[in-house]
Amino acid sequence: MKLPFSPGIFGMALLGIVFGAAGAETNQAGAYATGRYRNLFAEAGHSEKEIRLKVDAAFEQLFHGNPETQAVYYAAGSNSNGPLAYTTDIKHNDVRTEGLSYGMIIAVELNKKAEFDALWNWSKTYLQMTQTNHPSFGFFAWQARTNGVKMSEFVAPDGEEYYTMALYFAAHRWGNGKGIYNYQAEADELLSRMVHRETIAAKMPGRGGSRTITAGPLVDVDHKMILFSPSSERNKFTDPSYHLPAFYELWSRWGPEKDREFWAAAAAASRDYFSRVTHPVTALNPNYGNFDGSLLNYQTNFSYDAFRTAGNWSVDWSWWGKDVRERELSDKLQAFFESKGTNYGCQFTLDGKTLEERHAQGLVAVNAVAGLAATNPRAVKFVEELWNTPPPDGLERYYEGLLYMMSLLHCSGEFRILMPQ
């Protein structure tokens, strides 16, 4: 539906009612079946031209803007596989699989093959663990310096999840090339390892001397959930923001045949987990949690990782429309943030006490994405706040900026399932 007018305050309220009802009807099947993606900005009265300009300007700033104050994407020479580039966490002066894989999925959604390939080449060149006797073998070291020297040899599984999804989308958008650019083969191999990689134990250096570390796949097969870390250094638990049922549904259709039932079950498990790990009133979730949804005794607040979770359940509703509880969660979450006023903070206790006052642009962005599942007219307020928020720059522009960019794509209906040709 295309709006021929700017709705104003009364129209925005009416618009929320109309589109809440329409969304409920459309999402019984979801975008995977219908091919229709909601454009929350257009629903709020913004023109196609305005939306296109906003999305393109944000990408140009974050990927090709002033390297001192705006960009998070940096060219880094070339090797036999072609150009290299990385995304960097400006604040901590490092490179993370989180940001590399986010950059890749943004690039494939916007048909930016050069940037995609350069990020993938950097990831494969510097971060993939190729030593067959290493506990992280076959996966990617989560953190490195900008020169490629690893700072950690352990795995953060959200990177592998986004790498996998980005690679499948690339295979469908551009077709497969040779070597590391055979996107389908790379995705299949990585996805299979996430479930089946054998357990490997090896001595690893540490501050107190070497110690034996054991690690295996990136999922807990019994609970059908992604792990925060596969390393034996930690007890096994999960991170709610790592749960991506919208992706798992695709892997249950496109991934290796032997694991398709697992990924379908994982999608259902994640949807149920969202309802168990969130606060019953605020819908805030902790950074980490046990598989049953109970809290870890040292991580009981809503913090930076947790920003992303509402986006995960809302996109899942938008694409698949399988669990109405995701709509209830978005309504609760937006009601909570509405109650905190227009300049709410970014870290909270789960029952809503403010722990940090900074009004983080990344959280503003994801709260707008929650509108994909919300039913209450207040959702338009959050979409408008994102619209009026400039692309992040300065010290916080890495995490805030990549969440912002992905949220622009989601809210403009441009973050789409790229289907096989």
Residues identified as active-site? 98, 305
What is the spatial distance between Cα 235 and Cα 408, in angstroms, rounded to a whole number? 36
**Tokens 């870290």, residue?**
347
* Residue 335, both tokens: 């009601």
Rounded to whole angstroms, how far apart are CA atoms 57 and 199? 45
Question: DSSP letters of 177-213?
Answer: -SGGG-HHHHHHHHHHHHHHPPPEEEEE--TTS-EEE
Instruction: Give 83's strand partners.
Output: 78
Sequence-separated (6 or more) residues with CB below 8 Å from residue 235: none
- The DSSP symbol for 123 reads I
Contact 310, 239 (CB under 8 A): no
Judging by beta carbons within 10 Å of its beta carbon (0-12, 13-18, 19+), is residue 359 exposed, middle or buried?
middle
Inter-residue contact 326 to 373 (CB < 8 Å): yes
CA–centroid distance for 284 within its chain: 17
Q: Tell me how far apart the terminal alpha carbons of the chain are, to the nearest angstrom.
A: 27
Q: Name which of 75, 171, 63 is nearest 121 in CA terms.
A: 75
Using alpha carbons, list the distances in angstroms from residue 368 to 44, 126, 256: 12, 35, 34
Phi, psi of 141, deg, nearest 5: -60, 130
